[in-house]
Chains A and B, each alone.
Chain A
Amino acid sequence: MATFNLNINGESHQLDVDPTTPMLWVLRDHMKLVGTKYGCGIAQCGACTVHVGDNAVRSCQLPVSAVGEQEITTIEGLSEHGDHPVQKAWLETDVYQCGYCQAGQIMTASALLKQNPSPTDAEIENAMQGNICRCGTYTRIKKAVKLAANGES
């Protein structure tokens, strides 16, 4: 056990936890922020994607001890009222089926758009390749990312 000061969704939190614990479980079990999802635990599915600074990171492979001062943003903190352009585009497109993968998809997409505000189809596919959607909503995801990029939502 060790004490960590974490900066999550703009608030700082002190936590006593085993240093090897992945951020995924810190968020879900300790912080009760369950929007970040478990899908594989080995960085293969993207369900656990959060932002570390501006980057999309798989939180299942990020030990709490490696976070340091960096700012973590989860789906719950992406916007205050659920009105981030990517969230709005998702709502407009009604992307989801089961919905389980979508927090991860949204976090990857919003990190992409921050770095590349008008990505090509190929750039969207490349960025999103690590996020599995078992329900197969890929075409809608791409549509929603483009909608968010064009600022129409």
Chain B
Amino acid sequence: MTLVKTQIGRRAFIKNTSLAGGGLVLGFSFLNACKPKVAEAVAVEIEMPKEWFEINGYLKIGDNGIVTIMSPNPEIGQNVRTSMPMILADELEIDWKDVLVEQAPLNTNLYSWQVAGGSRSIMNSWQNLRMAGATARQMLKEAAANAWQVPVGEIKAVAGVLSHEASGNSAGYGEMASAASQIEVPEEVELKDRSEFSIIGTSRKNVDGKKIVTGQPLFGIDVQREGMLIASLAHPPAFGMKLKSFDAEEAKQMPGIRDVFSVKLFDDDFKKMAFHHTAFNELVAVVGETTWQVMQAKKAVKVEWEASPDTVVGMSLFGNEMKVNHPSGMENSDTHNAKLKELSARKGKVARRDGNPEAAFANAAKVIERSYSCPFLAHNTMEPMNFFANVTEDHAELLGPTQTPEWMEPAVSERLGLPLEKVDIQMTRQGGGFGRRLYGHFMVEAAVISQQMKAPVKLVYSREDDMSQGMYRPAYYATYRAALDEDNNLVAFHVKAGGVPESPLFANRFPAGAIDHYLAEGYTIDSNITTGAFRAPRSNFIAGAEQSFLDEVAEEMGKDPIDFRLELLKRAEENPVGDPETNDYEAARYAGVLELVREKTNWGQNDAGVHRGVSAYFCHNSYVAQVLDMVMENGKPTVQKVTSAIDCGIVVNPDAATNMAEGGIVDGIGHAMYSALTFKDGAPEQHNFDRYRLIRHKEAPKEIETHFVDNGIDPTGMGEPPFPPIMGALANALYRATGRRHYHQPFISDKPPLVG
């Protein structure tokens, strides 16, 4: 049992209003205007209470014992709308079948970190959610103790029922909810012991499952409103260009079109956060009645674009001021690649230096050097960018898919000239995020268009708009060198990694700390192509490169790839190089996942014809090791099975976490194997899924097996960590299957062609 202070959110908790209005609570009332027939048929599964009592900002209890839990964070497919309420429900001690989940709006007074980013939703809210549940449980107990005139310590709460053994009293939560809502918030509450969890750690189905399989309105793009107009934006066809002028005479005459005008997002002196950035600050908006009309009219707008000058954009990222250079000119992938290669041969900016790497390399008996690269990628969330806005003179209602409502709110407020409290942001379920919706320019765009039109507006990007708008995963390049002595010992390690426009280097991650002589350098190339976080930023390339290189080094040393890694980790654990505090991984947990995956796959005992690659990586506070089994089918390498061992601490919803791991694996194989966004004269060469290849059914692993380390540590990241290492396991298995190492993503075009 742990005692925690209830200070977080305490002010908010004191708001004990009882809310009347039975049957009002099934969420998504904002989507109700658009209600297909089926909706009513499936919605009424839980009987609605006649009255609700708000216990705190996270939950309300109905007079019949039904509990509504507010899920504070954006749901992008990582399943927080199920797993976050599960945490609260467990501490509240309620039966999961009596729980309704509602998406909380942005409310910075009640909640903290309403962000889907950095794999931090569960990690950051673990304590708050538990406290909110435990506080309510305690208040219910106190209400029962008052009613029955018995000591509160003798009251038990189990699965929504309060009881007092000695007096024989018992009551459901619903009966005590009204009284509990009047109780003073306790100073301190007891949290459950891990052994007492009854919901956390058990698999619960997605709370939106029924709505998803029956096609009910859930997503931003599904929002419908009386009098709502549709907007589409034209942006420059290439990076390095901006709006010069446009002629919309013809477009304005087209059926259903209400207006065509230019939109400027931010003034030059606006103090931007990194999440406000966009390549195209001035756009042409086409507004009309239906999506198809607007899409057609956009083609009829004659827009002239002109070259944009060199620009320096000041912005802040978590309080750090930075400047981003966007040089003028139309860029090409060929030029990027040539430049990356050129810089990789020069001295970079040293990020870490242990021992004397230069001397160690000079004296080495053998030096292994390999270079790796990857292209830009578009996030390609399945639901393209969109947002609904209804801006009136004194209020802005914003509704849609965003990963960062909290960080976008000030930008909208400033741009519209409305105080923060007049800006309401609500989140829909989101058709994928992957980092793309961290950058919410589309929310500001929708708001500005609505303000101009004086009407509710839904802005919808076409797939082509979405893919050519920027905020991409950067293009990266990394060169690794390893020095072996006469006895084939690894004595020095060198990584030099660069990118357009950022370096993927993590200087203090493994194998830093495990090798006496170590050098890490980075370099960057400025670009006017905007980039941003893409699921496991930087790790999503460097993990695969590093893990492929280690595989090759192990082979050169004649060692088993898992043994080799474990030896390095043992060194890092027992006798780390440098200040152990600077090595940002725990060697024992790292080794733990490798050992687990070795055991689960019977490593070393695979069938003939099965070619195995292993990989392990640490990011977002979690550890993942993977073994990928590849077979050759009709001359084509095919992924038969992937086995993962994951240490992300306590797993709240194991089947959902398994689903995330499976998704990360498919995502990683797909992007490493098939996907690329390339540029010619500043313009992306792929605008839709005809030329931009994403992994499909046939290319997915036939089987995926996921194991979690059971160590009782508070939860760490889960959405991102299974993604980066798989690219290394893939490359290593490909080598064993085909005899050829792959260094440049996408592997399918890493010459000579491998498949297809």
Query: Residues of A at under 8 Å CB distance from B?
Result: 1, 9, 18, 20-22, 25, 28-30, 32-42, 44-45, 47, 74-78, 80-82, 87, 90-91, 94, 96-103, 106, 121, 124-126, 128-142
User: Which residues of B lie under 8 Å from residue A75 when comparing CB positions?
Assistant: 213-215
The answer to whether B215 and A39 touch across the interface, beta carbons within 8 angstroms, is no
User: Which residues of B lie under 8 Å from residue A128 when comparing CB positions?
Assistant: 697
The answer to whether A40 and B688 touch across the interface, beta carbons within 8 angstroms, is yes
The answer to whether A99 and B208 touch across the interface, beta carbons within 8 angstroms, is yes
Contact of B662 among A106, A132, A139 (CB under 8 A): A139
Q: Could you say which of A29, A47, A100, A101 has the most chain B C-beta atoms within 10 Å of its C-beta? A: A100
User: In the bound complex, how far is the Cα of B655 from the Cα of A100, in angstroms?
Assistant: 19
User: In the bound complex, how far is the Cα of B263 from the Cα of A149, in angstroms?
Assistant: 52
Q: Could you say which of B38, B213, B429, B432 has the most chain A C-beta atoms within 10 Å of its C-beta? A: B213
Contact of A76 among B37, B292, B380, B701 (CB under 8 A): B37
The answer to whether A34 and B217 touch across the interface, beta carbons within 8 angstroms, is yes
Contact of B689 among A42, A98, A137, A142 (CB under 8 A): A42
**Is B721 interfacial (CB-CB < 8 Å)?**
no
User: In the bound complex, how far is the Cα of B79 from the Cα of A11, in angstroms?
Assistant: 35
What are 19 A-B contacts defined by CB distance under 8 Å? A18-B255, A34-B221, A37-B382, A38-B384, A39-B382, A39-B463, A45-B382, A87-B213, A87-B214, A96-B77, A97-B77, A97-B432, A98-B76, A99-B77, A99-B429, A132-B696, A135-B667, A136-B695, A140-B662
User: In the bound complex, how far is the Cα of B293 from the Cα of A18, in angstroms?
Assistant: 9
Contact of A74 among B215, B219, B293, B694 (CB under 8 A): B215
The answer to whether A97 and B221 touch across the interface, beta carbons within 8 angstroms, is no
The answer to whether A44 and B688 touch across the interface, beta carbons within 8 angstroms, is yes
User: In the bound complex, how far is the Cα of B77 from the Cα of A124, in angstroms?
Assistant: 24
The answer to whether B700 and A136 touch across the interface, beta carbons within 8 angstroms, is yes
The answer to whether B79 and A91 touch across the interface, beta carbons within 8 angstroms, is no
Within 8 A of A (CB), among B84-139: none
Q: A75-B215, A142-B697 are in contact. Are A135 and B663 (CB under 8 A)?
A: yes
Q: A47-B382, A96-B212, A100-B431 are in contact. Are A25 and B291 (CB under 8 A)?
A: yes
Query: Residues of B at under 8 Å CB distance from A?
Result: 33-38, 41-42, 76-79, 205-206, 208-210, 212-219, 221-222, 224, 230, 255, 290-293, 380-384, 429-434, 460, 462-463, 655-656, 659-660, 662-667, 670, 688-690, 694-698, 700-704
Q: A75-B215, A82-B214, A134-B432 are in contact. Are A139 and B382 (CB under 8 A)?
A: no
Q: Given A25-B292, A40-B688, A136-B663, 7 more contacts at CB 8 Å?
A: A32-B224, A38-B221, A91-B210, A134-B381, A138-B695, A139-B704, A140-B659
The answer to whether A32 and B34 touch across the interface, beta carbons within 8 angstroms, is yes
User: Which residues of B lie under 8 Å from residue A76 when comparing CB positions?
Assistant: 36-38, 214-216
The answer to whether A136 and B696 touch across the interface, beta carbons within 8 angstroms, is no
The answer to whether B36 and A33 touch across the interface, beta carbons within 8 angstroms, is yes
User: Which residues of B lie under 8 Å from residue A141 when comparing CB positions?
Assistant: 697
Q: A29-B292, A97-B77, A129-B696 are in contact. Are A82 and B704 (CB under 8 A)?
A: no
Contact of B659 among A34, A97, A124, A126 (CB under 8 A): A97
Q: Could you say which of A40, A90, A140 has the most chain B C-beta atoms within 10 Å of its C-beta? A: A40
Query: Which residue of chain A lies nearest to B656 when distances are taken between CB atoms in the complex?
Result: A94
Q: A91-B209, A97-B79 are in contact. Are A137 and B214 (CB under 8 A)?
A: no
The answer to whether B36 and A32 touch across the interface, beta carbons within 8 angstroms, is yes
CB distance from A147 to the nearest CB of B (A): 13
User: Which residues of B lie under 8 Å from residue A22 when comparing CB positions?
Assistant: 292
User: Which residues of B lie under 8 Å from residue A103 when comparing CB positions?
Assistant: 212-213, 215
User: Which residues of B lie under 8 Å from residue A82 when comparing CB positions?
Assistant: 38, 41-42, 210, 213-214
The answer to whether B660 and A80 touch across the interface, beta carbons within 8 angstroms, is no
The answer to whether A34 and B215 touch across the interface, beta carbons within 8 angstroms, is yes
CB distance from A90 to the nearest CB of B (A): 5
User: In the bound complex, how far is the Cα of B689 from the Cα of A74, in angstroms?
Assistant: 23
User: Which residues of A lie under 8 Å from residue B656 when comparing CB positions?
Assistant: 94
Query: Which residue of chain A lies nearest to B380 when distances are taken between CB atoms in the complex?
Result: A134
CB distance from B657 to the nearest CB of A (A): 11
Contact of B382 among A29, A78, A101, A124 (CB under 8 A): A101
CB distance from B433 to the nearest CB of A (A): 8
Query: Which residue of chain A lies nearest to B256 when distances are taken between CB atoms in the complex?
Result: A18
Contact of A35 among B36, B76, B664 (CB under 8 A): B36
The answer to whether B291 and A136 touch across the interface, beta carbons within 8 angstroms, is no
User: Which residues of B lie under 8 Å from residue A81 when comparing CB positions?
Assistant: 38, 41-42
The answer to whether B224 and A106 touch across the interface, beta carbons within 8 angstroms, is no
User: In the bound complex, how far is the Cα of B430 from the Cα of A118, in angstroms?
Assistant: 34
User: Which residues of B lie under 8 Å from residue A39 when comparing CB positions?
Assistant: 382-384, 463, 689
CB distance from A122 to the nearest CB of B (A): 9
Q: A76-B36, A97-B77 are in contact. Are A36 and B688 (CB under 8 A)?
A: no
The answer to whether A35 and B688 touch across the interface, beta carbons within 8 angstroms, is no
User: In the bound complex, how far is the Cα of B218 from the Cα of A20, in angstroms?
Assistant: 28
User: Which residues of B lie under 8 Å from residue A100 when comparing CB positions?
Assistant: 77, 219, 381-383, 431-432
User: Which residues of B lie under 8 Å from residue A45 when comparing CB positions?
Assistant: 382, 689
Q: A133-B382, A138-B700, A139-B704 are in contact. Are A94 and B659 (CB under 8 A)?
A: yes
User: Which residues of B lie under 8 Å from residue A35 when comparing CB positions?
Assistant: 36, 214-217
User: Which residues of B lie under 8 Å from residue A132 when comparing CB positions?
Assistant: 382, 689, 694, 696
User: Which residues of A lie under 8 Å from residue B655 when comparing CB positions?
Assistant: 94
User: In the bound complex, how far is the Cα of B221 from the Cα of A103, in angstroms?
Assistant: 14
User: In the bound complex, how far is the Cα of B543 from the Cα of A45, in angstroms?
Assistant: 29
User: In the bound complex, how far is the Cα of B227 from the Cα of A82, in angstroms?
Assistant: 30
User: Which residues of B lie under 8 Å from residue A42 when comparing CB positions?
Assistant: 463, 688-690
User: Which residues of B lie under 8 Å from residue A90 when comparing CB positions?
Assistant: 209, 212-213
User: In the bound complex, how far is the Cα of B210 from the Cα of A134, in angstroms?
Assistant: 20
Contact of B290 among A30, A133, A140 (CB under 8 A): A30
User: In the bound complex, how far is the Cα of B41 from the Cα of A37, in angstroms?
Assistant: 21
User: In the bound complex, how far is the Cα of B695 from the Cα of A105, in angstroms?
Assistant: 15
The answer to whether B213 and A98 touch across the interface, beta carbons within 8 angstroms, is no
CB distance from B684 to the nearest CB of A (A): 15
CB distance from A120 to the nearest CB of B (A): 13
User: In the bound complex, how far is the Cα of B219 from the Cα of A35, in angstroms?
Assistant: 10
User: In the bound complex, how far is the Cα of B37 from the Cα of A124, in angstroms?
Assistant: 30
Q: Could you say which of B205, B292, B382, B429 has the most chain A C-beta atoms within 10 Å of its C-beta? A: B382
Q: Could you say which of A21, A25, A42, A98 has the most chain B C-beta atoms within 10 Å of its C-beta? A: A98
User: In the bound complex, how far is the Cα of B698 from the Cα of A131, in angstroms?
Assistant: 11
Q: A76-B214, A99-B431, A100-B431 are in contact. Are A137 and B293 (CB under 8 A)?
A: no
User: In the bound complex, how far is the Cα of B434 from the Cα of A98, in angstroms?
Assistant: 11
User: In the bound complex, how far is the Cα of B700 from the Cα of A131, in angstroms?
Assistant: 13
Query: Which residue of chain B lies nearest to A121 when distances are taken between CB atoms in the complex?
Result: B702
User: In the bound complex, how far is the Cα of B670 from the Cα of A132, in angstroms?
Assistant: 11
User: Which residues of B lie under 8 Å from residue A101 when comparing CB positions?
Assistant: 382, 431
The answer to whether B292 and A139 touch across the interface, beta carbons within 8 angstroms, is no
User: Which residues of A lie under 8 Å from residue B694 when comparing CB positions?
Assistant: 132, 134
The answer to whether A97 and B38 touch across the interface, beta carbons within 8 angstroms, is no
User: In the bound complex, how far is the Cα of B130 from the Cα of A95, in angstroms?
Assistant: 28
The answer to whether A98 and B77 touch across the interface, beta carbons within 8 angstroms, is yes
User: Which residues of A lie under 8 Å from residue B382 when comparing CB positions?
Assistant: 37, 39, 45, 47, 98, 100-101, 132-135
User: In the bound complex, how far is the Cα of B721 from the Cα of A127, in angstroms?
Assistant: 31
CB distance from B124 to the nearest CB of A (A): 21
CB distance from A115 to the nearest CB of B (A): 17
User: In the bound complex, how far is the Cα of B701 from the Cα of A129, in angstroms?
Assistant: 14
User: In the bound complex, how far is the Cα of B37 from the Cα of A25, in angstroms?
Assistant: 19
The answer to whether B431 and A139 touch across the interface, beta carbons within 8 angstroms, is no
User: In the bound complex, how far is the Cα of B205 from the Cα of A47, in angstroms?
Assistant: 23
The answer to whether B667 and A136 touch across the interface, beta carbons within 8 angstroms, is yes
> What 6 pairs between A and B have smallest CB-CB spacing?
A35-B215, A136-B666, A98-B77, A100-B431, A75-B215, A138-B700
User: Which residues of A lie under 8 Å from residue B230 when comparing CB positions?
Assistant: 29
The answer to whether B78 and A97 touch across the interface, beta carbons within 8 angstroms, is yes
Q: A42-B688, A81-B41, A94-B659 are in contact. Are A34 and B206 (CB under 8 A)?
A: no
The answer to whether B666 and A34 touch across the interface, beta carbons within 8 angstroms, is no
User: Which residues of A lie under 8 Å from residue B665 when comparing CB positions?
Assistant: 136
